[in-house]
Amino acid sequence: MRIRKMAARVGVPVAATALIGVVGMASAYATNDWTPGSVTSSHYRTAISNIYGSHVDLGVYWKGNSVSINGEVKDTAKDHRSAVVEVRYQVYYSGHWHTHYRYPAKASGKGEQGIVYSQRSRYPARSVVARACVSNNGKIVTCDPHWR
């Protein structure tokens, strides 16, 4: 019995630490690292991703650490869930590279599409990748396991 009580006490800090980690990540989702516009690019690639009725086609343009994105997400399934594009990138500020995530567009309903209008990074950026996700009632339920 004594061991169970001790384990329960240890479990609470671990759970609290895990929760703090999730809450801490929320700030990265809320950042505004992008502004309307595009960059004159030297390089271009397409990130295409699909999962369970969500199709993402995102263009990534860059020259050095100036980056812009544009594209679309389409809902291709009649399942009452939404198709979402998730973008992961690193942005440089305060002397360090920080990994951030954002969801610039979604589409709800078979045949609907969401547009990622041309957006450029406000700060130096790198490692921009994207993937298709599916949401239900506003919460992400699954994503393509591979970043593109």
What beta strand segments (E) does 64-124 contain? 66-75, 82-93, 96-108, 113-121
- Angle at CA 39, nearest 5°, toward 83 and 50? 20
Answer yes or no: is pLDDT of 61 > 60. Answer: yes
Q: Which one of 2.60.40, 3.10.450, 2.30.29, 1.10.357 gives the CATH number of domain 34-143?
A: 2.60.40
On whether the CB atoms of residues 75 and 83 are closer than 8 A, the answer is yes
Give me the mean pLDDT over the 98-117 stretch.
96
Closest to 107 measured CA to CA, from 34, 70, 53, 49 = 53
Answer yes or no: is pLDDT of 65 > 60. Answer: yes
Using one digit for the tens of pLDDT, what is the confidence trace for 6-59?
Answer: 434 334 333 333 333 333 333 344 468 999 999 998 899 999 999 999 999 999
State the pLDDT at residue 49.
Answer: 98
Write down the domain spans for the chain: 1-30, 34-143
- For 30, the enclosing helix (H) or strand (E) is helix 2-30
